[in-house]
Chains A and B, each alone.
Chain A
Amino acid sequence: MSQQPATQDSHSSEEPNFYRAKSGLMSWLFTVDHKRLGVMYLASVLLFFFVAGFLAIALRTELFTPAQDFVSAATYNQLFTLHGAIMTFLFIIPATPGALGNILLPLMLGAKDVAFPRLNLLSFWIYSVAAVMLLCTLLLGGLDTGWTFYTPYSVHTGSAAGLAALGVFVAGFSSILTGLNFVVTVHRMRAPGQSWDRMPLFVWAIYATAVIQILATPVLAITVLLVAVERFLGIGIFDPAMGGDPVLFQHFFWFYSHPAVYIMILPGFGIISELVTVHSRKHIFGYKAIALSSVAIAIISFIVWGHHLFVSGQSELIGVIFSFLTFAVAVPTAIKVFSWVATLYGGSIVYNTPMWYALMFLWTFTIGGLTGLYLATISVDVHLHDTYFVVAHFHYVMMGGLAISFVGGLFHWWPKITGRFYNEALGKLSALLVFIGFNVTFGTQFFLGHQGMPRRYFAYLPEYTTMHQISTIGSWILALGLVIAGISLAMALRKSAPKAGPNPWNAMSLEWQTASPPIEHNFHDTPHVTCSPYDFPEIDKSGGGHH
């Protein structure tokens, strides 16, 4: 995308990459380098993904038979709570902004670091404290409220709900600070020539995410704090036994958690926009529409929370309004998917692992989005709410949308992060297994849900057995696929893995215009941006198409 200093390679042989620039444990724990912080986030989120994935397999294994046999009722309830809470608060929310965002954002902007490097370190430490608090609930006898902490159950249950609520509260601060940091970085730190319409779409997505994080997270913080106050001080807020209102909690909770769904998915959209363009050598189709639809989604996401309360006893009129607003989110989302598919048109598509994951995303996310229409239709949601249909739907969007794009993004930027190539054959095998495993695991659950199988059940009526068994087998295939993806990535860490060089994909955005792994200050000379990040040399300029 820019005038690349031709001297760069000779430089990088002199200047050590950011891993080598300093050494010792302290150089990591107290680093203010966005790349090192990103790598630490990456290690943490991958660890939590593994832990929570492991819990998921335990859950699915219990569900292999209709009876309760593998784990006890109480254990099952703690397992799904921890699985959901860890996946949401410690994996999905921090994964893309914390890990990929930290590593890539300043690089993509041609900056030396984020706007407030020390604040960035603070965010990481706050995140770590929150993680420790949530994991402590395990030792305290566990948490069994579900990741939604619904009152009054969470006020009464004799488990570690108070600590967990505080843990989520603390994690919120990390989110807010990271969001703040990124917003300022995007406004202030762009390289000369990088106007708003020359920013990579990944940056747009991280930016929209950061705005939601800043606006929505305080509401979550207040809500969980109120739960803690109610538990510890006995002041009635949500518990009717003390004069509180339990449904109020659900309003507060979803006022945060619905936008949070977009905190989770928007960065995934950003990743897909990069992957689809680079590996098909095409300018993104509808840059403006994609960028602006992120902003539209961010705004509308604040006024749809009531679709989680259709059967809670809220007024019918309010329910209908929320149903309407929910449909409104579907339009910008559809525009994005159409644009990605249109980007493939006339391309020269390279089928490597990151591209396979991106193409898989189009499939899984489309199913996730379309099944959202059933749930937005208020009368149909009365039937499907809190059944396996919902479990399937949100796994299609969260796992099929974000987790899959995150893995794809890891493969794509892995050469940049590690300086070496992952194992391509294993990478492709993992994509195939994940694709099959994922659809078998969660596709079956739409049928279960429509048949009326409620969620959060550890034992079920025998007529649901077949579908549950297929789903469980699928989850084993899925897990195997993810393990193989991990192995493929880990193989890049060997000394013998092929070196990637600065720009293995011939991409145009700035992060590829410096050494892999980058040097400590990212660039030798401040880069200048002269064109769009999607202006690939393969594009046929002779035909007089738009530019």
Chain B
Amino acid sequence: MILNLLLGPDPALLGTPQMSESPFSLLPAASTNAQELDNVYLFITALCAISFVILIGAQIYFMVKYKKPASGHRKTSPLTHSGKLEFWWSFIPAVLLIGLFAWGETLYMKMVAPPDDALQIRVTGQKWFWTVEYPDSGAKLTDEIIIPINVPVKLTLTSNDVIHSFYIPVFRQKKDAVPGRYTNMWFEATKVGVYPLFCAEYCGDQHSSMIGTAKVVSMEDFEAAIEEASRIVQLPNEPLPDYGARVFAKRGCESCHSVDGTTKTGPSLKGKYGAQETLADGSTVTIDDNYIRESLMEPNAKIVQGFAPQMPSFTGQLTDEQIVGLIEYIKSLK
């Protein structure tokens, strides 16, 4: 959503660093379990590479050695089976696979069992942004999760509409956010930095833009960092339209509404204030303060012609101050 559709996601805007130096190297590992997961990954890679070389090596050797002679055929081997060989090539892979299963399973058990004292954070997916809430401070962030380093963190995930999946590659963790139920995920970050956060379960038009950032900070900076990121109060001397613009960006309006006339999932809001809008039932309304307020609180009360009822309700999520800011911002979009 922070992503400008036409330009593609701009890493500078997102503040995400390179995922890794080269596509062939491993991703940075920034959680306690990530390193061990990479070890399993490398082990499987070694196992596969060896098997592949043996198997394809044998194939190529046979291909060269047993090529048909220039004229006629040579007599071919009458071999049809070999009990011994067949036993060993079933038995050895079976043993290796059981070992691999066991290692994968042990690590998995660590990855899904959060310590009791983990810091609790609630995450809600919605087309097409993530809302991150800190129950302790009541702070709310959009498309950004801030976590203290070296502290186990437990997320409780859910969704307001369809299934999304919360994926932070550098932590090697992913979990579906399912509407109507809660799922959990935990990790303990080990490296300060800003990392990409993706939605990994297809959720509609802007699935590709449902990306954000995971910011790992030191424990001392933690409170201040969420304070700062969640604050969408009007700054002293800040003009209302500018304040509205910040709310517009932080509350995910951008993922559906452009301000330059291009149509996304919702209508562009450029030059809309005071104009006539044709609704799905053919009637018309004038876009004024009340209409905008209603669009935010009960978006499905009036549906704009040519659009699907995709807009989520913001009841209880915006303060009056913020709504006024938004209205002034929309007014200013000439």
Residues of chain A having any CB pair with chain B under 8 Å: 65-68, 73-74, 77, 144, 146, 150, 152-153, 156-158, 240-241, 245-247, 280-289, 311-313, 316, 319-320, 323-324, 327, 330-331, 334-335, 337-339, 341-342, 344-351, 359, 362-363, 366-367, 370-371, 373-374, 376-380, 382-383, 385-387, 447-448, 450-452, 454-464, 466-467, 536, 538-541, 543, 545-547
Contacts and interface: CB of A to CB of B under 8 A. Distances in A.
Interface string B131-147: 00000000000000000
Contacts of A73: 5, 205-206, 208
Contacts of B86: 286, 289, 335, 339
B52 A77 contact: no
A283 B80 CA distance: 6
A280 B66 contact: yes
Given A286-B86, A348-B76, A153 B163 contact: yes
26 contacts: A77-B204, A150-B163, A153-B163, A241-B180, A281-B68, A282-B77, A287-B81, A313-B178, A323-B101, A327-B97, A341-B59, A344-B59, A348-B68, A348-B74, A373-B48, A377-B101, A379-B111, A380-B41, A380-B44, A385-B174, A454-B199, A459-B3, A459-B5, A461-B11, A461-B211, A539-B77
A150 B41 CA distance: 29
A250 to B, nearest CB: 9
Contact of B66 (A312, A349, A359): A349
Given A313-B181, A382-B172, A459 B89 contact: no
B6 interface: yes
Contact of A380 (B24, B37, B75, B180): B37
Interface of B: 3, 5-9, 11, 14, 16, 18-20, 23-24, 26-27, 33, 37, 40-41, 44, 47-48, 51-52, 55-56, 58-59, 62-63, 66-69, 73-82, 85-86, 89-90, 93-94, 97-98, 100-101, 103-105, 107-109, 111-112, 161-163, 165, 167, 169-170, 172-176, 178-181, 183, 196, 198-209, 211, 308
B174 A382 contact: yes
Nearest to B79: A545
Contact of A153 (B63, B68, B162): B162
Chain B facing A: main interface SS: mixed
A311 B26 CA distance: 22
Given A454-B200, A461-B211, 16 more contacts: A77-B204, A146-B202, A153-B202, A240-B179, A334-B89, A359-B63, A363-B56, A366-B52, A373-B48, A373-B97, A377-B100, A379-B104, A450-B41, A451-B19, A451-B27, A536-B76
A158 B306 CA distance: 12
Contact of B93 (A331, A458, A461): A331
B67 A379 contact: no
Contacts of A366: 52, 55-56
Contact of B208 (A153, A450, A458): A458
A-B pairs with the 4 shortest C-beta distances? A346-B77, A240-B180, A452-B169, A67-B8
A68 B179 contact: no
Contacts of B200: 385-387, 454-455
A373 B44 contact: yes
B16 A461 contact: yes
B23 A66 contact: no
B277 to A, nearest CB: 20
Given A386-B174, A456-B207, A289 B62 contact: no
B90 A311 contact: no
B175 A452 contact: no
Nearest to B182: A313
B205 A74 contact: yes
A284 B80 contact: yes
Contacts of A339: 86
Contact of B181 (A240, A344, A349, A541): A240
B66 A545 contact: no
Identify which of B33, B169, B308 gathers the most chain A CB atoms within 10 Å of its CB.
B169
A65 B66 contact: no
A350 B98 CA distance: 39
A459 B209 contact: yes
Contact of B79 (A65, A345, A387): A345
Given A77-B205, A378-B108, A334 B93 contact: yes
B8 A66 contact: yes
A68 B37 CA distance: 33
Nearest to A383: B172
Contacts of B109: 316, 320
A540 B75 contact: yes
A447 B174 contact: no
A157 B162 CA distance: 10
B208 A457 contact: yes
Contact of A331 (B94, B100, B105, B161): B94
Contacts of A455: 200, 202
Given A371-B48, A543-B78, A383 B174 contact: yes
Contacts of B6: 67-68
Contacts of A371: 48
A466 B23 contact: yes
A521 B306 CA distance: 59
Contacts of B94: 331
Nearest to A73: B205
Contact of A68 (B5, B47, B78, B97): B5
A448 B262 CA distance: 31
A377 B8 contact: no
A367 B59 CA distance: 14
A76 to B, nearest CB: 8
A320 B108 contact: yes
A341 B77 contact: no
B281 to A, nearest CB: 17
A66 B55 CA distance: 37
Q: Which of B27, B37, B44 has the most CB of A within 10 A?
A: B44
Contacts of B81: 285-289, 546
Given A373-B48, A383-B174, A346 B76 contact: yes
